[in-house]
């Protein structure tokens, strides 16, 4: 399958492998391998992985479909809002936003298309209609655009930080404040293509949080993202010494996760608020905790009730 795309404005002047990594949602090392094997190239000139992309460049993707069969359907993915312009799903853990090299599991986009949902054709190949993503390991609300009008307007709202995105996160330990803001730039960690870190060379990242409930060994928080960097909530809480429970990549205690029955980070996209692209009516869509996250809270509640009163 071959696709030809112009270089996005934000990636003009960047290294080729870095741009491909961002365009395809891959690690930088995987992007470099695709360039080295000729599966991704610049049309009309030879450019190695460290070369710089120019404004007039066209990037050609020639990727074989690695699946041995059709993409599996995300059976347990409810649609919580839908009209002629938008569809909002409650994405389960283990479902990717869209297809990418090396991922053989279900995707939000693929499952919607297989269900017969009409999606806007705008956007990068394989990511059409998508203006904001959730990681495979994060559950919760994700918006996809059905009409071109919605894609253009919702992309603008997300890029200008007009959409209110509320997450609930269970963090390790007892936070000392009831509410605070973490403002620290985030960039890719040098030690790994998959991890991100606080770095002066990173992009601006702002996270606001409020305490919902204190359990002693953990604190349930409501988080509002002002920016949307990769792994932002996970990196920011880890940077203040309170990684998300179950988030071993960013320093969480595996013993606590095991006690709570968690096999992933406790993080859920709980609420989306936005101005409807066609009617301009302020719209709110809400979710609820999936079973694994609720079970973890139930165990903390039980532990809290059984604790001797001072």
Top-confidence residue, 7 or 257: 257
Residue 143 confidence class, pLDDT cut points 50, 70, 90: very high
Q: What is the mean pLDDT of residues 113-135?
A: 90
Query: Residue 266: is it exposed, middle or buried by C-beta count within 10 angstroms (0-12/13-18/19+)?
Result: buried
Do 252 and 217 fall into the same domain?
yes
Average pLDDT, the chain: 89
Give catalytic residue positions. Answer: 135
- On the question of pLDDT at 10 being above 70, the answer is no
Q: Are residues 227 and 253 in the same domain?
A: yes
123 and 173, same domain (yes or no) = no
Q: Tell me: pLDDT of 194 over 80.
A: no
Looking at the domain assignment, is residue 8 inside a domain?
yes
Q: Which two tokens stand for residue 38?
A: 């000729």
Task: Tell whether 21 and 125 lie within a shared domain.
Answer: no
**Band of pLDDT at residue 60, cut at 50, 70 and 90:** confident
What pLDDT does 28 receive? Answer: 80
Q: Do the domain assignments include residue 202?
A: yes
Task: State the pLDDT at residue 305.
Answer: 82
> Does the pLDDT at position 70 exceed 80?
no
pLDDT recorded at residue 123? 86
pLDDT above 90 coverage of the chain, percent: 60
> Could you say which of 132, 160, 188 is where a domain stops?
160
Residue 56 has what pLDDT? 77
pLDDT at 2 over 60: no
Instruction: For the chain, give the DSSP string.
Output: -EEEEEPPGGGTTSBHHHHHHHHHT--HHHHHHHHHTTSEEETTS---TTSBP-TT-EEEEE-----SSPPPP-TT--EEEE-SSEEEEEEPTT-BSS--TT--S-BHHHHHHHTT----S-SSTT-TTBSS---TT-EEEEEEE-SHHHHHHHHHHHHTT-SEEEEEEEEES--SSSEEEEE--EEE-TT-SS-EEE-TTSB--EEEEEEEEE-SSEEEEEEEESS--TTHHHHHHHHTT-PBTT-GGGT--HHHHHHTT-SS--EEEEEEEEE-TTT--EEEEE----HHHHHHHHHHHHHHHHSPP-
For 70, residues 6+ apart whose C-beta sits below 8 A from its C-beta are none
Question: Does any domain span residue 75?
Answer: yes
94 φψ region: left (φ > 0), alpha (ψ -120 to 50), beta (else): left
Q: How confident is the model at residue 4 (pLDDT cuts 50, 70, 90)?
A: low
pLDDT category at 163 given cuts 50, 70, 90 is: very high
State residue 101's pLDDT score. 62
Residue 187 located in a structural domain: yes
- For residues 151 and 223, the answer to whether their CB atoms sit within 8 Å is no
Residue 306 belongs to some domain of the structure: no
Number of domains in the chain: 3
**Strands 267-275, 139-145: pairing kind:** parallel
Lowest pLDDT segment from 29-43, 66-80, 85-99, 252-266: 66-80
pLDDT, position 44: 81
pLDDT(9) > 70: no
Is the pLDDT reported for residue 27 higher than 80?
Answer: no
Ranges 47-56, 192-201, 207-216, 278-287: which has the least confidence: 192-201
* Model pTM score: 0.79
Can you give the CATH number for the domain in which 173 is found?
Answer: 3.30.2350.10
CA-based nearest residue to 42, from 24, 25, 60 = 60
């Amino acid at each position: 399958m071959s696709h030809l795309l112009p270089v996005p404005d934000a990636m003009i002047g960047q290294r080729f492998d870095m741009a491909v990594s961002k365009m395809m949602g891959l690690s930088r090392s995987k992007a470099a391998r695709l360039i080295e094997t000729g599966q991704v190239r610049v049309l009309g000139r030879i450019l190695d992985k460290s070369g710089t992309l120019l404004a007039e460049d066209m990037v050609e993707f020639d990727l074989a479909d690695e699946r041995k069969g059709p993409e599996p359907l995300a059976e347990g993915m409810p649609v919580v809002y839908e009209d002629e312009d938008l569809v909002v799903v409650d994405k389960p853990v283990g479902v990717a936003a869209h297809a990418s090299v090396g991922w053989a599991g279900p995707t939000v986009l693929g499952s919607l298309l297989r269900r017969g949902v009409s999606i806007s054709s705008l956007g990068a190949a394989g990511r059409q209609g998508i203006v904001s993503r959730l990681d495979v390991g994060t559950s919760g609300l994700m918006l996809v655009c059905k009409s071109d009008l919605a894609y253009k307007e919702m992309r603008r709202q997300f890029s200008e930080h007009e959409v209110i995105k509320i997450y609930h996160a269970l963090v390790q330990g007892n936070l000392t404040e009831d509410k605070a803001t973490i403002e620290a730039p985030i960039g890719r960690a040098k030690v790994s293509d998959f991890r991100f870190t606080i770095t002066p060379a990173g992009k601006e990242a702002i996270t606001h949080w409020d305490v919902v409930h204190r359990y002693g060994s953990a604190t349930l928080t409501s988080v509002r993202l002002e920016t949307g960097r990769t792994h932002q909530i996970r990196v920011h809480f880890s940077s203040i010494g309170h990684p998300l429970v179950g988030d071993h990549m960013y320093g969480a205690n595996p013993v606590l996760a095991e006690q709570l029955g968690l096999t992933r980070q406790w993080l859920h996209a709980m609420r989306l608020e936005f101005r409807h692209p066609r009617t301009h009516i302020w719209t709110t869509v809400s979710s609820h905790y999936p079973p694994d996250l609720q079970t973890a809270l139930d165990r903390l509640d039980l532990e809290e009730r059984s604790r001797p009163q001072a």
